[in-house]
Structure 1
């Protein structure tokens, strides 16, 4: 059997996409292979295979879904464009491998609205393991981690430095070298991500705009402050349930700043569930939620199936009554 984890191999503009593959890789045998998330349909069609399929979906729909011999565990996924599910073959594929673990409520609602069993899973990067002894002192560098998507404005950085009493060392979440074929890029990017994780562990604190910097820091036990121009953005919900996210305005208006308290019980519950699910699914070679024997997995599957029926009926009824018709038509198209 082949074992796959997926890496975004097209845009190569955010090393957080690489990390999401690396945390899946950690649950797989040592001979696990990296698969290009944008080319899953091109995977080997003969050898039975298991894929931990998590992360951001996706830039192009042309080479999706994967072939039938590949058994995916869809967990912690974010659907950026609802048109991913426009084709029946894609919806049938997801139904065959349901319930689908969703990283955010928007994605969850898209699947449920199609009548596809799904549940909120949180993000797999919560399972990130420390790469070095974690610095619990106040000594050491404070890292400011952002990238071209969400650069921290100069005035916010200056205020953070004034509040924290020392300069911030800037680090980018852009891959350092996106060149080369997919395999070489993956090797270089994973090595760089491991170096970053080690540096995060050794730092006295991390300040970041990147969800896939903050979540792995929580997983590793590293002190982290998340700042963002729009802290209530739905995409950030998997982090917001664990810590308070500071807006730029909050930073600029603050007299003091502290590392936010972590909701440890909630965090551990999410992380432990994902760990158990990935381990048991890897041992089976397919999703442990497909034919669950574990009582908690059975309950989750039953609930997701019921929610899919209820939510789908609600979507169809709302459309027929003229409620939010334009929005529903945009999301579900001819499916209504």
Structure 2
């Protein structure tokens, strides 16, 4: 039997990152003819089965490191494994280190996880993310003639998280000016753009808050992206209702992947949008915070290492979207939207070989 890792998000509030289910779908595509069951990532040590269960251990680990190592009935393949840095101290107990050494080398989704493993004496390598293989099921043999998608475009209030004192007051006035200056454009975007930044005037008026945050977004992104893209895009978020059933979450993740596979282009701050787009050949740009914004960058450190030859990256720095690792057009349109890099292919081939070998050895 095979297990499919899921993170249902029980006890994690009303919202859920659907990217966890994209990771699960990346496993499912290899297991179509296999008997499967669900294995909850946050309860690995409590999992029970009367027979061995083979599990591809990819994805984001974990809110509850006390639930690791996994149950003895689990036979793991550690690949595309990401450990959140904030849990490093709690995760690497003597028991966990001994367990992981039994299954080394550990395939890490990012450089930082690989380095954490090595620092604790565990052999590890950078494997890339299993979602880079989603082209196996989702790549289409036709032109990308669907919608433009903008998925959680990265933003900081004022375009910079490090704004205080009189500078902050001046920035507030700038936001109001942007709302006036771009009124017609922002009016078209106000019911489409999904604001994930801090509140500006939320205590006074939620609608005013949304309008001004949308104006701030348009002010920054319109400097690098054409209105053809920004005003015609479909805006969606990877953060969804956590109270949906597993079937509903899988269905939503599947629907999103099919949309990305058909999209003209995608702009996102979500790796589990960018990587599947690479896999299906959809042009995409990955937007990250500035390296100087330590509060934000700590969530990205290591995640973008080794990706300069793989993902087209832009960085929000000092209120401007700036190129990172690649020189892009000053104003990006549908006509000159950059082609994807091809570096992911070296990880694609190795990921497939590693997973297929694991399945072949555990029939």
Q: TM-score, normalised by structure 2?
A: 0.69
Q: Following the alignment from structure 1 to structure 2, what is the Cα–Cα distance between the partners of residues 100 and 149?
A: 34
Partner of 1:256: 331
Query: Is the CA contact (8 Å cut-off) linking 2:139 and 2:279 kept in structure 1?
Result: no
User: Over residues 100-128 of structure 1, what are the superposed CA-to-partner deviations in whole Å (9 max), with x where a residue is unaligned?
Assistant: 00111111111111111111111111001
Question: In the alignment, what sits opposite 2:25?
Answer: 22
Distance 2:3 2:228 in 1: 45
For residue 16 of structure 2, give the secondary structure of its aligned residue in structure 1: coil
Q: Is residue 16 of structure 2 the alignment partner of residue 13 of structure 1?
A: yes
Tell me the alpha carbon deviations over residues 218-249 of structure 1, each in whole angstroms, 9 at most, x when there is no partner. Answer: 00111112222237742123643303301235
Contact 1:243/1:260 (<8 A) preserved: no
Secondary structure, aligned partner of 1:251? strand
Does the alignment pair 1:206 with 2:206?
Answer: no
Cα deviation, residue 163, structure 1: 6.9
C-alpha separation between the residues in 2 aligned to 1:25 and 1:149?
A: 33
SS in structure 2 opposite 1:115?
A: coil
Of stretches 161-170 and 59-68 in structure 1, the one that deviates more from structure 2 is 161-170
The answer to whether the aligner puts 1:179 opposite 2:243 as a matched pair is yes
Report the equivalent of 1:101. 107
Structure-1 residue corresponding to 2:290: 230
Alpha-carbon spacing, 1:277–1:8, altered in 2? closer, same or farther (3 Å) = same
SS at match of 1:9: coil
SS, match of residue 235 in structure 2:
strand
Q: Which residue of 1 aligns with 2:140?
A: 133
Q: What's 2:148 paired with?
A: 142
Deviation at 1:141, TM superposition (A): 2.1
Unaligned runs of at least 5 residues, structure 2: 157-195, 198-216, 292-299, 324-328
Larger radius of gyration: 2
Change (3 A) 1:8 1:168: same
Maintained 8 Å contact 2:7/2:41: yes
Equivalent runs, 1:1-336 vs 2, <5 Å: 2-10=1-9, 11=12, 13-28=16-31, 29-80=33-84, 81-129=87-135, 131=138, 133=140, 136=143, 139-146=145-152, 151=196, 153-159=217-223, 160-162=225-227, 164=229, 166-175=231-240, 177-179=241-243, 185-230=245-290, 233-237=301-305, 239-249=307-317, 251=321, 255-257=330-332, 258-264=336-342, 266-285=343-362
Structure 1: runs of 5 or more not aligned: 287-336
Distance 1:49 1:165, change over 3 A: closer
If each structure's helix is expressed as a fraction of its own residues, which one has the higher value? 1
Per-residue deviation at 1:207? 1.1
Distance 1:238 1:259 in 2: 23
Offset of 1:279 from its aligned partner? 0.8
2: CA distance, partners of 1:149 / 1:61: 31
Question: Within 2, Cα distance between the matches of 1:247 and 1:206?
Answer: 16
* Alignment check: 8 A CA contact 2:221 2:321 kept: no
Aligned with 1:269: secondary structure? helix
CA contact (8 A) 1:123 1:238 kept: no
Q: Distance in 2 between matches of 1:189 and 1:140?
A: 22
Query: Post-superposition shift, 1:259?
Result: 3.3
TM-score (norm 1): 0.74
SS at match of 2:236: strand
Pairwise CA distance, 1:71 = 0.8
Task: Decide whether the 8 Å contact of 1:161 with 1:168 is kept in 2.
Answer: no
How far did residue 79 of structure 1 move?
1.0
1 CA distance for matches of 2:89 and 2:54? 25
Higher mean C-alpha displacement, 231-240 vs 111-120: 231-240
Deviation at residue 97 of structure 1 after TM alignment: 1.3
